[in-house]
Structure 1
Amino acid sequence: MVFTVIASGYHPRCALDSTDGAEVRVAKIAAMIGECDWGIHDLSRIEVDPGGLPRFNMPLELGLHLGARLLGEKRHRRKRALILDAERHRYDAAISDISGQDIEAHGKDPDEAIRCVRNWLSEHRPRNAPPLRGAAALQADYRAFQAEAGALLAPRRIDPDDLTHNDFLFAVHDWIEARAAPA
């Protein structure tokens, strides 16, 4: 999903953008939601930990986003959200209050997640903006990126299997720039 956002010309924001042990994470996330007009929330990440408790970080973040849209200033009322889950209506068992939302299902399939994100981003572009590259093209680009990332990162001596969030962002930007450069 992050690859698709970057390849579509947008800048993703994430709590992992910077790590600061003195910063309260939920405050950082709330500030990012306040700054951003669009948000992607993947509810398939509601998983049960080894102790049997579900992780509700994604629904909490979606709640902050929806709260900003419902209760915020005029600018915040224009917020848009792409809500994803692994299966249609799976979320009903845990958070039935969002049953009236349009939620896309990606089946935990990266190609389907790319399609969902690409289509949503393309639908919300300015009226006269050209459409984004198609989902199949982005899916092929992602597979090429995965195949080439190791060679791209080798000169920097970065292990592609041990990337930080910012290393990944850099690698995607670097790969896209290298692809766009004339041969």
Structure 2
Amino acid sequence: MARPPRPRPAPASRSVFINCPFADPYRPILRAMVFTIIVSGYHPRCALDSTDGAEVRIAKIAVILGACDWGIHDLSRVEVGPDGSPRFNMPMELGLHLGARLLGEKRHRRKRALVLDAEPHRYDRALSDISGQDVESHGNDPEAAICCVRNWLSEHRRPNEPPLPGAAALQADYRLFTRELRELLTPRRLDADDLTHSDFLFAVRDWIATRAEPG
């Protein structure tokens, strides 16, 4: 029996790498950004895409980042932990992105980045080398993160491509999605309070498809 064709990967021009914390306290912001990316017609990518204990994490991240023309880098959790050590994972991945853009082959030089933080100019104290770049602040608010991502994607749309729906409209869509999520997942026998990253991606796309159905 012939094997079914493997799904084609999303083109780099529509793929968005997300560099952010994956701890539970940050999850509301991550999910709001993922929702915004998908409803805007793009494909979110991050280190949670697959779990393989045999993979070297930084190598996996480099491959994913290389397959994306877009990158969101949230520096809001670059802070000192309980043991007195700062977390540098997010700045390191931002460095990979900027290095690919500055030194990579022609395709990588078209990479665009959205750099986020919790507070305006907070990053100056820890990462002064990016002081010349625009850094947006989401204030640890998922709805503000939706606005940042929407505006960034819309500002860099293709020539003659219509703008994305406004931030207020996407924020309203996200609130509706979260209200309808539990009912949507019940026939799938999925728990809205215990979703993996891939479960959440499926739920967003399923909700969009459901809303697009006639009647």
Q: Which deviates further from its counterpart, 53-62 or 95-104?
A: 53-62
- After superposition, the C-alpha distances for 1:28-70 in whole angstroms (9 at most, x for unaligned) are 1111111111101111132433323222211111110001011
User: CA 1:49/1:158 → structure 2, altered by over 3 Å: closer, same or farther?
Assistant: farther
- Secondary structure of 1:88's partner? coil
Q: Give 1:1-183 correspondences, 5 Å limit.
A: 1-183=33-215
- Separation (CA, whole Å) in 1 of partners of 2:85 and 2:190: 35
TM-score where L is the length of structure 2? 0.82
RMSD: 1.0
User: Equivalents in 2 of 1:19, 1:94: separation in Å?
Assistant: 31
Separation of aligned partners in 2, 1:42 and 1:142: 20
Cα drift, residue 133 of structure 1: 0.7
- C-alpha distance after superposition, 1:139-159 (max 9, x if no partner): 001111111111111112211
Give the Cα separation in 2 of the matches to 1:29 and 1:176: 28
The letter of the residue matching 1:11 is: H
Unaligned residue ranges in structure 1 (runs of 5+): none
Structure 2: 5+ residue stretches without partners? 1-32
In structure 2, what is the Cα distance between the partners aligned to 1:39 and 1:131? 19
Over the matched positions of the two proteins, sequence identity in percent amounts to 78
Distance apart, 1:181 and its partner CA: 1.2
1:24 Cα deviation after fit: 0.7
**What letter corresponds to residue 150 of structure 1 in structure 2?**
R
The amino acid that maps onto 1:137 is A
Superposition deviation, residue 99 in structure 1: 0.7
Give the aligned length: 183
Q: Secondary structure at the match of 1:12?
A: strand
The residue type equivalent to 2:194 in the other structure is D
Q: Secondary structure at the match of 1:44?
A: coil
Alignment deviations for residues 72-129 of structure 1 (CA, whole Å, 9 cap, x no partner): 0111111100111111111111111111111111111111110110010001110111
